[in-house]
Chain A
Amino acid sequence: NAGVMQNPRHLVRRRGQEARLRCSPVKGHSHVYWYRQLPEEGLKFMVYLQKENIIDESGMPKERFSAEFPKEGPSILRIQQVVRGDSAAYFCASSPSQGANTEAFFGQGTRLTVV
């Protein structure tokens, strides 16, 4: 009965490298959300996906960031050419259906450090 699984838990990248963050939702959940938490800040919404579709990406930076949730496999948040400002904790959440009244279950996060 696993919850939301994120890996890796910690990721160190040099400036200019790519970062790939993976999220396996709760079994049976088809809705995935990515949030970013900067130091001393709350979580900021990035993107909302359903299987094979991006529903809302209003919080995604326009460049270097992309997300996918394929039919099979985990959701991936990809950051190309990372910069120091990308250092943050990235959280994934999943829910069984849509609607803000549906509880979203959060993973433990991936802490990205760009050196």
Chain B
Amino acid sequence: AQSVTQLDSQVPVFEEAPVELRCNYSSSVSVYLFWYVQYPNQGLQLLLKYLSGSTLVKGINGFEAEFNKSQTSFHLRKPSVHISDTAEYFCAVGRAQGGSEKLVFGKGTKLTVNP
């Protein structure tokens, strides 16, 4: 079974500051990794995903994440945040093999960008 731990439930930052949202996972098999963003009262939107290849993945809205297999981490970063980045961010993992399509989500990190 897979599990995901998002180490920070809330992250407040000032506008134009850098931010890192941490995600660690546990799995006995190879996995795919995802970051989703949820704006208030909205559904989830895919920010980026790691399937294979380069461990540095670039996504939408200037976000990027780095897959670190030895540390089982997939932290999300942005060098300079905007007010509009205020949202909840979810890290998720899916099995790379074995036919299970479901995703396992972390509990989320609420990012608040202050002026």
Near A by CB (< 8 A), chain B positions 78-104 give 90, 92, 94-96, 99-104
* Contact, CB under 8 Å: A98 / B99: yes
Residues in A neighbouring B103, C-beta threshold 8 A: 43, 45, 100, 104
Q: How distant is the Cα of A29 from the Cα of B61 in the complex, in angstroms?
A: 26
- Selected from A31, A40, A44, A100, the residue in CB contact (under 8 A) with B94 is A100
- Is B106 a contact of A42 with CB atoms below 8 Å? yes
Q: Does A48 contact B (CB under 8 A)?
A: yes
Is the beta-carbon distance between B43 and A91 smaller than 8 angstroms?
A: yes
Q: Which of A13-21, A62-70, A77-85, A105-113 participates in binding chain B?
A: A105-113
Known: A41-B107, A43-B90. A98 touches B101 (CB 8 A): yes
Known contacts A43-B90, A100-B96, A33 near B44 by CB under 8 Å: no
Q: Are B43 and A106 in contact (CB under 8 A)?
A: yes
Specify which chain B residues have a CB less than 8 angstroms from the CB of A101 in the assembled complex: 32, 49, 51, 94, 96
Question: B37-74 interface mask toward A, CB cutoff 8 Å, 1 = contact, 0 = none?
Answer: 00001111110010100000000000000000000000
- Give the contact-size bracket for chain B: 20 to 34
**Which residues of chain A are within 8 angstroms of B43 by Cβ–Cβ distance?**
4, 6, 91, 106-109
Contact of A42 among B32, B41, B105 (CB under 8 A): B105
- Other CB < 8 Å A-B pairs besides A45-B103, A106-B45, 18 of them? A31-B101, A40-B107, A41-B108, A42-B90, A42-B106, A42-B107, A55-B101, A56-B100, A56-B102, A58-B102, A98-B99, A100-B95, A100-B96, A100-B102, A101-B49, A102-B101, A106-B43, A109-B42
B-contacting residues of A (Cβ < 8 Å)?
4, 6, 31, 33, 35, 40-45, 48, 55-56, 58-59, 91, 93, 95, 98-104, 106-109
Task: List, sorted by A's number, 9 A–B pairs whose CB atoms are closer than 8 Å.
Answer: A4-B43, A42-B4, A42-B107, A43-B44, A45-B103, A56-B102, A100-B32, A106-B36, A108-B41
In the complex, the 7 A-B pairs of residues with the closest C-beta atoms, listed nearest first? A100-B94, A42-B105, A106-B43, A45-B102, A106-B44, A108-B43, A43-B105
Chain B contact residues, CB within 8 Å of chain A: 4, 6, 32, 36, 41-46, 49, 51, 90, 92, 94-96, 99-108
